[in-house]
Each structure stands twice: as structure tokens, then as C-alpha cells.
Amino acid sequence: MNNQIVGTHALTKKMESNILKTSQDAKAAKKLNPSLIDATVGMMNKEDGNVFSYKTVSDLLCQLTDAEMYHYSPANGTADYRNGVIDWVFGQHKDAITKAFHINVIPTTGGSGAISNAMYNFNDFGQSVLIPNHYWTPYENIAYEANVGVETFQMFDENFNFNLADFRAKALALADKQHRLFLVLNDPCNNPTGLCLKKSDWVVVIQVLNEISRKGIPVILLHDLAYIDYEMAGFDAARDMFETYLDLDENVLACICFSGSKTFSMYGLRIGAQVGLSKSKKVIEDFARVGDYSVRARFSSVNRPAMSVIGKIFADEAKKTVFKAELMEAREVLKKRVELFEACAKKENLKTIPYGGGFFIGIPTENKNVFNDLVQDGVYVITMPGLIRLAISSVRLDEIERLVKIIKKHQ
Ligand code: PLP
């Protein structure tokens, strides 16, 4: 019992998101001084600074009937949405995946809702999830809110390859310690590093998950693919890792988190999905049962207009083709910025983490004061221990040369 207005478990709760706060600070500073470079924003922006919205999405949003706009959405989603998510996420591997696995799709409030439901339902209170040491910081808040802790492994070896050895060691140790492994991997197009795992990395990840599962330990892979549609290698290559999924052992649960915010630029409409995959029917029955309960208990159902629009795109091959072409345009914009950034970085001898796609470029740093040093020179980025996260998704081409020079000065 305590005498405070909040419950004991919430006494120390305080949101210290450096991402949101820094982004707001950067916006305010830029209003006063438009020459500042704001590389904090995790949204895809056009060269004019406005969000890269998709015409297919905007047109459909304006044409919705009252029912498609205002009714509640079904808690387990419309058929167009559910089936469409499976088609979209697995792409060319859909047939192989649907043949090998039991599958269930649960609509959620963005990818965040999916991560939150999964962390809450697939851990015991007091256990920890395993994530790489460079991570999207809200994972931590979502875990703590679910009464779950966070343990990390080294993401990179000395050559900036994915550190399979440390992953294996930490995964086995944590699984043995707490009789559960809940692994969070954000791939492809990792936020904050820009890393895309190689298919050969995924082969080993799956082997380690199987090794643990064979000891009778529950294994959950939370695969956050929020940025999958911005991998430079393109739509099909971004989905190649699903081939390695086919080797997953019977009792492993893969929980794929899909984000409508990124794929459709519907950041504010809050839609996504949690896709459960397992070769065990029982595991997917459990996934569906607890997921459905959590949707109703936590947010009832998700955004109807967003579900209607995405469902219409997914269900209509012609619309899907037009939308895919628009996505390709966005990737081209990103590609131009990244190419210029890499050329300038080479000229300035600025060391960066190999970029495979997505909204962010990771730059290693040993400067503990790097954030303040950059702000002094008019650059806002997100910094994390040992890392600068640069949102190339929201930086203009004409800012890049200056940006690289300033970062080099303080790296
Ligand atoms: N995962 C990662 C790595 C992200 O960066 C984000 C958003 O920034 C999300 C998931 C979730 O996004 P949303 O909840 O808007 O779908």
C-alpha cells in the first residue's frame, strides 16, 4: 500500500524519450533559424519539407463511404485487410509460408500496438526481452510498461557485421536463466543503424532459435519490419529472409510487426498488424486468443478509415501496382540522398555504418558531447551511446554536403 495518487508500480514512471523531445526542440529552433538542419524526424519527407504522402492513399481516403469511414472496424480486421497483410508482408514467399505455417493476423494501433501486445502477452512479469545494443528506444518503454526488462547483445563486430557470436551467447544465457527467449529484431532497414541483415545472418538466427526451442524453452521472435518497404534492394529482396523462416522448429512463435505508418505514410492514422506464424496449431490458437483479448481490452479496435484504405489497395491489383510505383519513387528520393551522403562522407573520410535502407543512417562516434556539439553548429540529430542517428528520410539534398562536414568535425 502507498499514499501516493499513482499505484506503486507507476511511481517511478517518467517518459524520457530523447527522440520526441529532441524532435520538438529541433522544430522550434528551426522556426527561429531556418538554416538549421533537422535530421531527427522519423518520417519520409519530400524535398519541400512536407510529408511524402501517397496519392493512392489520399485519393482513397477522400472517397470512403460513411460506413468505411465512421463505423467501428472489426477487432480482428476486415477480410481484405487480414488477407492483404499476409500477401503484402510475405510477397513472393506467401505460398511457401502459408503452406508451412499456421497464421493469424491481428490489426493493431501501428507497429507499436503490435509490439506492445506481444511483449505483454508472451513474457512472464519480471522476465527480460533480448535486443541488440543499438535499438529504437521505445522498445524499452514498451517493455517496462509490460513489467518486462531489457537485455542486450552487441549488434556489431569490429567490421560492422551483425555480431552472430554475441547474439548466440546472450540468447543461450538468457534462455537458460529465465526459461524463455523473446528476441526483438528490427530488420530490414534497422532503426537506428540502417543495417540490413544478410540472408546468411538470418539462417544462423533461426538455427539459434531452434537450438533453444529444442531444450523445451518457449521461444518468441518479434520481427519488427516497420521499414521493409524502404530497403534499397527493392520489394522482393527485402522479403528474402522469409525463406529462412521455413526452417523454424514447430514450437517457435514468430510475431511479425507490420507498420502502416511507414509503408503507407499514415503515421497519424495509427494502423499496423501483428502477424503470428508457427508450425504448431496450438501456438497460433494461443496467439489469436490472447491477441484478440488484448486488442479489445487495450484499444477495442483500430482506425477504420485507415483499414478501409489499406484493404482497398491490398484487394485491387491495379491499385496495388500504382501504389508500388509510388513507393518506388519514395525509395528513389531516399537513394539520391544516401548516394550524395555517401559520396560526401567518402570525401570527408567520415566513418558510417553500412546502410542497407530505411529512414536512418548510423554514424559511430566516441564523442560523449556530440549532441551539444552538433547543436552548436546548427544540426539536430538523435544520439545514443556510441551512435549518431541521422534521419536521411527528412533531410534535403541541398543540406547534405554541409551536414557531413559538420558531423565530421564532431564525430
Ligand atoms: N518499430 C520501429 C523500429 C520504429 O521506428 C517505429 C516507429 O518509428 C515503429 C516500430 C512503430 O511505428 P508505428 O507505431 O507508427 O507503426
Domain boundaries, the chain: 8-54+324-410, 60-319
User: Which of 259, 267, 307 has most ligand 1 atoms within 8 Å of CB, for mutation?
Assistant: 259
Calculate how far, in angstroms, residue 225's C-alpha sits from the geometric centre of ligand 1.
9
Calculate how far, in angstroms, residue 348's C-alpha sits from the geometric centre of ligand 1.
32
| Bridge partner residues of 45 (DSSP) | 51
The domains spanning 8-54+324-410 and 60-319 adopt the same CATH topology: no
With both helix axes pointing from N to C terminus, report the angle between 304-315 and 317-348 in degrees, rounded to the nearest 10.
Answer: 100
CATH number assigned to the domain with residue range 60-319, chosen from the 4 options 3.40.50.300, 3.40.640.10, 3.30.2020.10, 3.30.300.30: 3.40.640.10
What is the pLDDT, as a whole number, of residue 283? 98
Task: List strand residue ranges (DSSP E) for 1-101, in order.
Answer: 37-38
What is the pLDDT, as a whole number, of residue 100? 98
Question: What secondary structure letter does DSSP report for 15?
Answer: -
Calculate how far, in angstroms, residue 2's C-alpha sits from the geometric centre of ligand 1.
35
CB atoms within 10 A of CB 16: 9
Calculate how far, in angstroms, residue 408's C-alpha sits from the geometric centre of ligand 1.
29
Cα–Cα distance between 302 and 307 in angstroms, integer? 8
Cα–Cα distance between 363 and 12 in angstroms, integer? 32
Calculate how far, in angstroms, residue 74's C-alpha sits from the geometric centre of ligand 1.
23
| Bridge partner residues of 379 (DSSP) | 37
Question: What secondary structure letter does DSSP report for 156?
Answer: B
Cα–Cα distance between 133 and 364 in angstroms, integer? 13
Cβ of residue 110 lying under 6 Å from some atom of ligand 1: yes
Cα–Cα distance between 383 and 324 in angstroms, integer? 33
Residue 20 CA, distance from chain mean position? 16
Cα–Cα distance between 64 and 309 in angstroms, integer? 8
Surface-to-core class of residue 252, CB atoms within 10 Å of its CB (0-12 exposed, 13-18 middle, 19+ buried):
buried
Identify the residue whose C-alpha is closest to ligand 1 atom 2. 226
- 8-54+324-410 belongs to which CATH class? alpha beta
Question: Global pTM?
Answer: 0.97
Identify the residue whose C-alpha is closest to ligand 1 atom 5. 191
Q: Are 230 and 334 in contact (CB under 8 A)?
A: yes
Cell numbers at 264, concatenated: 503507407
| Closest to 359 measured CA to CA, from 323, 395, 326 | 395
What is the pLDDT, as a whole number, of residue 41? 85
Cell numbers at 209, concatenated: 532459435
Cβ of residue 111 lying under 6 Å from some atom of ligand 1: yes
| Closest to 346 measured CA to CA, from 408, 256, 295, 399 | 408
What is the pLDDT, as a whole number, of residue 1? 77
What is the pLDDT, as a whole number, of residue 129? 98
Q: Residue 317 carries which side chain, given as an amino acid letter?
A: E
Atom of ligand 1 nearest to the CA of 191: 3
Query: pLDDT truncated to tens, each residue of the chain (411 aa)?
Result: 788 999 998 988 888 767 878 888 998 999 999 999 999 989 999 999 999 999 999 999 999 999 999 999 999 999 999 999 999 999 999 999 999 999 999 999 999 999 999 999 999 999 999 999 999 999 999 999 999 999 999 999 999 999 999 999 999 999 999 999 999 999 999 999 999 999 999 999 999 999 999 999 999 999 999 999 999 999 999 999 999 999 999 999 999 999 999 999 999 999 999 999 999 999 999 999 999 999 999 999 999 999 999 999 999 999 999 999 999 999 999 999 999 999 999 999 999 999 999 999 999 999 999 999 999 999 999 999 999 999 999 999 999 999 999 999 999
Residues near 61 by beta carbon (within 8 Å), at least 6 away in sequence: 305, 309
Q: b vs e for 196-219, b when ≥16 Cβ sit within 10 Å of the residue's Cβ?
A: bbeeebbebbbebbbbbbeeebbb
User: Which of 108, 186, 225, 261 has most ligand 1 atoms within 8 Å of CB, for mutation?
Assistant: 261
User: Which of 139, 224, 263, 382 has most ligand 1 atoms within 8 Å of CB, for mutation?
Assistant: 224
Cβ of residue 231 lying under 6 Å from some atom of ligand 1: no
